[in-house]
């Protein structure tokens, strides 16, 4: 399976995706909903999370991927851009957490150097590990030890605790490899009580529907994974699929786009809207450009700071005074209990 | 009246001695037994969203069908008794 970009698919173009999102008839504007909720303009709070997308290359080609990541994607953050990230972090102590994502972030050739340098700045590091990368090549087999050595919090997608649903979304064989990788992480102490090594899993719906309750599903996951595979983990994050990129393609092809958008809109929750992750997060693209979140990044909606939208001209005052860029896909973060890279927000 | 019905309905499907997830699968089976098209659509989505697999959902439908089929079959006793009462 290839990325939309490699297929030269129309949806590989961010502008085309926005056209579709903005021109769906009879769907109320997200900005209108936010205005009703007293949240327009949406303003940032203290920036705490520095989320870096170190590249779009991935060993998997998941059907719901908002990045359109895959082995054929060549956009990779350079060491020079990583150094710019480190400079911004060094000058902005309010960023307590660095959240590394991709693609498969471990495939960036300078990933380990970057992690070591961030650690020197005494920041909490999250790596969004797709699990299968640990088994993909011998050179990645020691990742659990590397993560442990740097006290990294590992956040990993496991769309369900059964093979069928996981493989449908993430590809054949992904579930089996994910289980092996989780067992390897458990073996070095990840997810185990008393070790302090955090292993959190992510649930995404494998279809055109919204996620169920995070608390109830976490218990099911814990019971099932322990009983069937002797796997332990800390928390389950329930994340709503965003109607962009490959998931948007799936919605359109399957005829579910309008009904999915209606579900998101009907489930709009002002409490979740007030707690969206973009308020305390800065998202950095592989090329150093800045965004309000990883979804805006994939839609090429750069941060609303004219003259200060790149790491090279980072301005903390411009960042704190900006208005967050909103569009119709933002309904995905405000439905039901809300959705963020850390799961539900309400 | 409708408000009272929907309040009761909502309460019935909450997590309690049975989980909301288990109740969803029961509802799916009953929806087939009573052949309610709206209920079948609603609880097919609900059960799948709550994590039941297609094979588990199909087994639930088979359980509903077995009970319906069995119930129809045992009414054959009533038929035989009636025939016996009027036959020479």
CATH number at residue A296: 3.20.20.70
> Is residue A324 situated within a structural domain?
no
Asked if B53 and A210 come within 8 Å (Cβ–Cβ), the reply is no
pLDDT per residue over A242-288, tens digit each? 999 999 999 999 999 999 999 999 999 999 999 999 999 999 999 99
pLDDT at A344: 86
- Residue A24 binned pLDDT confidence (cut-offs 50, 70, 90): confident
* Domain span including residue A208: 10-18+45-255+276-313
Listed in sequence order, the residues at least 6 apart from A82 whose beta carbon sits closer than 8 Å to its beta carbon are A54, A110, A113, A114, A117
Quick one: pLDDT at residue A342?
87
**Whether the Cβ atoms of residue A37 and residue A24 lie closer than 8 Å to each other:** no
pLDDT at A10: 97
Any idea what the Cα angle at residue A343 is, between residues A341 and A345, rounded to 5°?
105
Q: What local confidence, expressed as pLDDT, does residue A1 receive?
A: 86
Cα A259–Cα A63–Cα B61 angle in degrees, nearest 5: 60
> Does the ipTM exceed 0.95?
no
A134 contacts A199 by C-beta, under 8 angstroms: no
CA separation for the pair A197, A215 (Å, rounded): 21
pLDDT, position B63: 98
Q: Is residue A104 within 8 Å of A130, Cβ to Cβ?
A: yes
pLDDT of residue A346: 86
Minimum CA–CA partner of B50 in chain A: A212
Compare CB distances from B50 to A162, A164, A212 and report the shortest one's residue. A212
The answer to whether position A2 is within a domain reads: no
User: What percentage of chain A reaches a pLDDT higher than 70?
Assistant: 100
Give the DSSP letter string of A39-100: --S-------EEEEE-BSB-S---TT-SS--BTT---B--HHHHHHHHHHHHH-TT--EEEE
Least confident of A16-30, A62-76, A122-136, A174-188: A16-30
Q: What are B32-75's pLDDT values in tens digits?
A: 999 999 999 999 999 999 999 999 999 999 999 999 999 999 99
Q: What is the pLDDT of residue A307?
A: 87
Q: What is the pLDDT of residue A340?
A: 87
Express each pLDDT in A87-132 by its tens digit.
999 999 999 999 999 999 999 999 999 999 999 999 999 999 999 9
Q: How many domains does chain A have?
A: 1
β-bridge partners, A113: none
Asked whether the beta carbons of residue A212 and residue B19 sit closer than 8 angstroms, the reply is: no
Judge whether A267 is closer than 8 Å to chain B, CB to CB. no
Answer yes or no: is A135 within a domain. Answer: yes
The answer to whether A165 contacts B49, with C-beta atoms less than 8 Å apart, is no
Does some domain include residue A332?
A: no
Query: A214: nearest CA in chain B?
Result: B50
With CB atoms and an 8 Å threshold, state whether A162 touches B49. Answer: no
Q: Please give the distance of CA A274 from its chain centroid, rounded to a whole number.
A: 19
Of the residues B21, B48, B51, B55, the best mutation for testing chain A's interface (the one with the most A CB atoms within 10 Å of its CB) is B51
Domain residues of chain B, as ranges? Answer: 2-86
User: CB of A7 within 8 A of CB of A287?
Assistant: no
Secondary structure element (H or E) that encloses residue A290, with its range: strand A290-291
What's the angle, vertex CA A140, arms to CA A136 and CA A142, rounded to 5?
135
Give how far B50 is from chain A: nearest CA, Å: 7
Q: Which residues of A touch B53 (CB under 8 A)?
A: 162, 164-165
Question: What average pLDDT does chain B have?
Answer: 96
Domain B2-86, what fold?
AhpD-like (1.20.1290)
Count of all residues that appear for chain A in the document: 346
Q: Over the stretch A282-312, which tens digit does the pLDDT of each residue have?
A: 999 999 999 999 999 999 999 999 889 999 9
Q: Which residue has the tokens 């998997």?
A: A60
pLDDT for A124-169, tens place per residue? 999 999 999 999 999 999 999 999 999 999 999 999 999 999 999 9
Are B80 and B46 spatial neighbours (Cβ–Cβ below 8 Å)?
no
Q: Does A238 fall in a domain?
A: yes
Closest-CA residue in chain B for A159? B51
């Amino acid at each position: 399976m290839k990325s939309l970009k490699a297929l030269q698919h129309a949806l590989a173009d961010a502008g085309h995706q926005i056209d579709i999102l903005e021109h769906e008839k009879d769907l109320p504007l997200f900005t209108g909903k936010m205005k009703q909720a007293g949240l327009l303009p949406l303003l940032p709070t203290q920036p705490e999370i520095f989320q870096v997308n170190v590249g779009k290359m991935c060993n998997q080609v998941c059907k719901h991927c908002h990045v359109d990541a895959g082995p054929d994607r060549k956009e990779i953050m350079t060491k020079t851009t990583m150094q710019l990230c480190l400079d911004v972090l060094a000058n902005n102590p309010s960023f307590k957490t660095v959240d590394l994502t991709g693609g498969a972030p471990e495939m960036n050739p300078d990933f380990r150097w970057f992690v070591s340098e961030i650690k020197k700045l005494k920041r909490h590091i999250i790596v969004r590990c797709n699990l299968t990368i640990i088994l993909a090549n011998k050179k990645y087999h020691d990742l659990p030890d590397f993560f442990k050595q740097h006290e990294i919090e590992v956040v990993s997608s496991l769309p369900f605790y059964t093979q069928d649903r996981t493989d449908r979304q993430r590809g054949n064989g992904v579930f089996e490899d994910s289980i092996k990788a989780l067992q390897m992480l458990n073996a070095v102490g990840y997810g185990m009580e008393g070790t302090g090594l955090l292993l959190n899993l992510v649930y995404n719906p494998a279809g055109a529907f919204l996620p169920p309750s995070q608390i109830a599903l976490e218990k099911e996951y814990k019971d099932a994974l322990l009983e069937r595979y002797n796997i332990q983990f800390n928390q389950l994050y329930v994340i709503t699929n965003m109607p962009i990129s490959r998931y948007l393609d799936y919605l359109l092809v399957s005829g579910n786009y309008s009904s999915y958008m209606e579900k998101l809109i009907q489930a709009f929750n002002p409490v979740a809207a007030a707690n969206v992750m973009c308020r305390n997060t800065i998202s950095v693209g592989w090329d150093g450009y800045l965004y309000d979140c990883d979804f805006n990044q994939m839609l090429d909606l750069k941060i609303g700071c004219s003259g200060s939208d790149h790491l090279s001209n980072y301005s903390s005052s411009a960042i704190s005074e900006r208005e967050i860029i909103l569009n119709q896909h933002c309904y995905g973060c405000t439905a039901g209990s809300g959705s963020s890279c850390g799961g539900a927000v309400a | 009246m409708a408000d009272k019905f929907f309040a009761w309905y909502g309460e019935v499907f909450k997590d309690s001695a049975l989980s909301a997830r288990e109740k969803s699968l029961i509802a799916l089976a009953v929806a087939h037994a009573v052949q309610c098209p709206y209920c079948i659509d609603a609880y097919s989505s609900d059960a799948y969203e709550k994590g039941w697999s297609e094979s588990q959902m199909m087994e639930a439908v088979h359980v509903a069908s077995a009970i319906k089929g069995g119930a129809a079959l045992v009414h054959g006793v009533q038929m035989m008794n009636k025939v016996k009462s009027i036959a020479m």
